[in-house]
Structure 1
Amino acid sequence: MTDPGNPLIAKLEKHRQGPSEEPGRVNPNAKRKAVVQDTCQSTQPSQTEGKPYTICFEPAEPAARNAIQALARPAEVPEWCADFLNEWPTNRVQGCSHQLGTIIVRQGVKQVGKFELDLWSLITANPAKNEITFDQWVGAEDLDGQGYAIMFTAIPGCSGPCNVMTNPYPPTELVEGEYKRVHHELSGQLSGTQVEVSNGIFPEAELVFIHPLAVDAVTVVSEIFEPLRCDYKAAGGDIAYYGCVFPLFWGTHKVPRSILLGYANHIAEAQTEGLPGAPPTPGNNYPLHRIRNQSDITENRNTACQDAPSPRPAGWECDEYPPASTLEGAATSGGDYSWRLIPIEQNQAGGAHLKGFYRDYRLIARDAFYIQVVN
């Protein structure tokens, strides 16, 4: 049992990092590129009576990014998202993309208008609710000629076990130098009657640009290629019943040495000796995986601490690594493990700190994660 009066637990609360604070990265196993088809290359000049124009989209290459981008990153978009163009980096609860390009209006082969499109997309999963939001900021710069007449609408979508909760965004005029924000809401398909997991959720949004005198329209698709997951009670009864995350992002549980000296030193020593769980380095990526079966957790703890003095010295407990609540634990893995005697307050506070990480990152059984000692 964890002592609720343990002063170390309150100190650790100030050091706990939420999942939205961890910088995002591009998953090498997910499709990397956002959909940015160059329709200007394929559009054939044409016109009909009363509709003399055609409209097309020319995406920007990364090398042209600084020359095109004129608007500041929206404050709501994480700073780490600015490091990527036409990709979808994610952390445990957020995924974002940045797309740039030029919307061009033509009359025959002659360009008669344009504007520079600056598009940010942000998908946010709520780890404590059955809720996914998809926000977009549609910016226009360097409007010219018939470019001023272009409007846009936004159509939300989703593939997999999910529901779209909002209607299409109505036709809206662009304003030079400003963003128009579009907000969509989605949810996982969960009955709420039994433990459920809805995996493989892929939100998308189509921005459709229209000109009143154009024979066609331009559709710019923002579609993430890393799945989301929503679940009901799969993370445990002491965690919010509903929640959604990006499960392929393996978060890092950070243990402050300044508060948990003995506990942190044991982790660092065990990882140095080759036990799994350290943050990945080239050629070394061996995460831990959460388990929730209580009998397995107890067996892991008993196996790891079977050689520790019994009874324990007053004020000391046996700490095991890898943690008993992981598949890599002493009994469930059948592999190497480590034990140390450390002060009771540190052992219990360290366990509570790990449970808080499980809750914040919404880890269910077999979810992978890392542990890092920080100074």
Structure 2
Amino acid sequence: MRSSIRAGLTGIALALMPIQAVAAEPVSPSVAPERVATREAAPSPAPKSALPTLRTASLAADCARLESQIESGALAVENGKTNAACIKPGGKGEVTARDLSALADRTPVPLPDYCYDLATGDGTWWYTRTDACAISVWTLNVVDVRTGRLTGQLSYIQADLLYTGADAPYWAHQVAIDKTDGWGTIGGTTVSGGGTCTGACTLASGDIDFPSQPVNDTGLAFGDILPKTTVTAAGAKGEGRTKVNYRFANPTWTVQPLGVTTEPPFNVRCDNAVPGTTAVGCVVPAYPAVHVVSLTGRNPNYARHIQEAQTSGLPGAYPNGQPLRRLTDATNRDKNGDTACPQFADGGYPRPTGYSCDEYPFRSTWQGAYTGSVGQPTPYPGRTFSWCQISALSSRVGPNGWSACMIPVSENSSGGSLLNRFYIDNRVIENDPFYVWITT
């Protein structure tokens, strides 16, 4: 394996916490994006699932095809080789806790915990904003071409891992092959592979690392690819998708099994379009980002306002509400803020000593107090709550409109800074959907 990759993977956290942006530093394009711990412990949003794309008809029919060839006499002994091999995917539920535990101990870049918790063995992809995985079970059969009798069998787990870097202009797709059982004429079997990337990405030969390796009981075989984004210009964005392929081989088989191609059913997006950072980074855009705000954290009044605003019907609540969408235009952001929280000198609300006006949805969203009403016959009305110290507004319910509340200045400032950090860490760009999750 490439020494640079192995060195870059040494410091990766076992828990695979969500990627957070760090200060931009020069990085080697041959080193996989590195995992760093979150700044504060917080619950993790649930991963989403997507159907696998690796179950092609040709793979499902590989062993049936071989059986038909043997029955028809189309295969003959060549150079003394009497065995042929085929491969077939397993089904849902065909993975054991013991197999997953062994896989977790061996995988070079460990999969997130949710991959093992949710694995059923059918290759379903699970993904978050920053990583994705799929675990599938496979069987390789070796048969005698003269009789069709089974002479050997190799059972294995295929574990895909895709992970991105919030401030790295590339991502990684790793495939691990872990033998779980085997017998008969499988000695000397090797596996090797390669990969491709389509879309706004490049993949040079030096970015592909899946050399020929033995398949044995002492360790697993694996390979990875490191596609680089072609996005560079300020404000640019682009998406790409990877495929990793591999094939088993054995010098004693006269017919080798078909190769396997594994592909996530979603794209990776890389961009240079997040205000506040000039670093290019990548995420899985199919998963909307989730901003976690705690009622018992550093900004309890800020969190309480968001919670009550969401409870009254306003959008953004994780996981079942309508998502918010990021607004990056400075002029419209100011209009949102001025509409929800006009200054007292301009006929707005008086600010109690030590308090400032907080608005929800955030001024940096298209659902904000001004932009959320654009195109409507009349602007949507605002709302507030009994503890918010704004007598000019009343309580309301429903999905349309906005909320304002007086909260301590320090909390308002801190909440805004953390929101901006969230945007950068999760690469939430213009019009990106996202949620706000209020936790205890």
Tell me how far 1:181 sits from its aligned partner: 2.8
Counting only pairs closer than 5 Å after superposition, residues 217-228 of structure 1 correspond to structure 2 as: 217-228=257-268
1:336 and 1:275 mapped to 2: Cα distance? 7
2:112 to 78, 93, 96: 78
Partner of 2:182: 143
More strand by share: 1
Partner of 1:9: none
Q: Which has the larger radius of gyration?
A: 2
Partner of 1:315: 354
Superimposed CA distance per residue, residues 292-337 of structure 1 (whole angstroms, 9 cap, x where no aligned partner): 1011110001111138755523311110000000111111111400
1:41 aligns with 2:64: yes
Q: Which moved more, 1:205-214 or 1:287-296?
A: 205-214
Partner of 1:261: 300
Superimposed CA distance per residue, residues 325-357 of structure 1 (whole angstroms, 9 cap, x where no aligned partner): 011111111140000111100000000111111
Instruction: Give the match's secondary structure for 1:364.
Output: coil
Contact 2:341 2:349 in 1 (8 A): no
Partner of 2:198: 159
Tell me how far 1:54 sits from its aligned partner: 1.8
- Are residues 17 and 364 of structure 1, via their aligned partners in 2, closer, same or farther at CA, if it must alter by over 3 Å? farther
1:88 aligns with 2:125: yes
1:15 aligns with 2:40: yes
Tell me how far 1:70 sits from its aligned partner: 6.7
Contact 1:211 1:217 in 2 (8 A): no
Q: What is the number of residues matched between the two proteins?
A: 351
1:274 to 313, 319, 325: 313
Instruction: Give the match's secondary structure for 1:225.
Output: coil
Tell me how far 1:169 sits from its aligned partner: 2.1
1:77 maps to a residue whose letter is L
Instruction: Give the match's secondary structure for 1:365.
Output: coil
Superimposed CA distance per residue, residues 246-293 of structure 1 (whole angstroms, 9 cap, x where no aligned partner): 011012211111221211111111011100000133xxx301111110
Partner of 1:364: 429
- Are residues 160 and 338 of structure 1, via their aligned partners in 2, closer, same or farther at CA, if it must alter by over 3 Å? same
2:244 maps to a residue whose letter is A
Partner of 2:380: none
Partner of 2:9: none
2:101 and 2:63 mapped to 1: Cα distance? 24
Partner of 2:210: 169
Tell me how far 1:14 sits from its aligned partner: 4.7
- Are residues 26 and 366 of structure 1, via their aligned partners in 2, closer, same or farther at CA, if it must alter by over 3 Å? same
Larger RCO of the pair (alpha carbons < 8 Å, separation 6+)? 1
Partner of 1:373: 438
1:172 maps to a residue whose letter is Q
Identity across aligned pairs (percent)?
Answer: 25
1:145 and 1:262 mapped to 2: Cα distance? 67
Instruction: Give the match's secondary structure for 1:252.
Output: strand
Unaligned runs of 5+ in 1: 1-12
Superimposed CA distance per residue, residues 174-228 of structure 1 (whole angstroms, 9 cap, x where no aligned partner): 11152123232111122x24431112x1111011111213323331221101111
- Are residues 337 and 71 of structure 1, via their aligned partners in 2, closer, same or farther at CA, if it must alter by over 3 Å? closer
1:287 to 323, 334, 341: 323
Partner of 2:392: none
Instruction: Give the match's secondary structure for 1:40.
Output: helix
1:67 and 1:314 mapped to 2: Cα distance? 59
Instruction: Give the match's secondary structure for 1:64.
Output: coil
Partner of 1:61: 91
Tell me how far 1:49 sits from its aligned partner: 1.9
1:59 maps to a residue whose letter is P
Unaligned runs of 5+ in 2: 1-37, 374-399
Q: Which moved more, 1:311-320 or 1:326-335?
A: 311-320
Counting only pairs closer than 5 Å after superposition, residues 294-305 of structure 1 correspond to structure 2 as: 294-305=330-341
Partner of 1:343: 408
1:116 aligns with 2:155: yes
2:102 and 2:303 mapped to 1: Cα distance? 41
Instruction: Give the match's secondary structure for 1:263.
Output: helix
Partner of 2:243: 204
2:134 and 2:417 mapped to 1: Cα distance? 35
- Are residues 262 and 196 of structure 1, via their aligned partners in 2, closer, same or farther at CA, if it must alter by over 3 Å? same
- Calculate the aligned-residue CA RMSD, in Å: 2.2
Normalised by the size of structure 2, how large is the TM-score? 0.75
1:250 aligns with 2:288: yes
- Are residues 22 and 269 of structure 1, via their aligned partners in 2, closer, same or farther at CA, if it must alter by over 3 Å? closer
2:156 and 2:307 mapped to 1: Cα distance? 48
- Are residues 231 and 70 of structure 1, via their aligned partners in 2, closer, same or farther at CA, if it must alter by over 3 Å? closer
1:341 and 1:153 mapped to 2: Cα distance? 62
* Divergent runs of 4+, >6 A: none
- Are residues 16 and 353 of structure 1, via their aligned partners in 2, closer, same or farther at CA, if it must alter by over 3 Å? farther
Partner of 1:8: none
1:107 maps to a residue whose letter is D
1:311 and 1:67 mapped to 2: Cα distance? 61
Instruction: Give the match's secondary structure for 1:218.
Output: coil
Partner of 1:7: none
1:185 to 210, 213, 226: 226
2:424 and 2:234 mapped to 1: Cα distance? 19
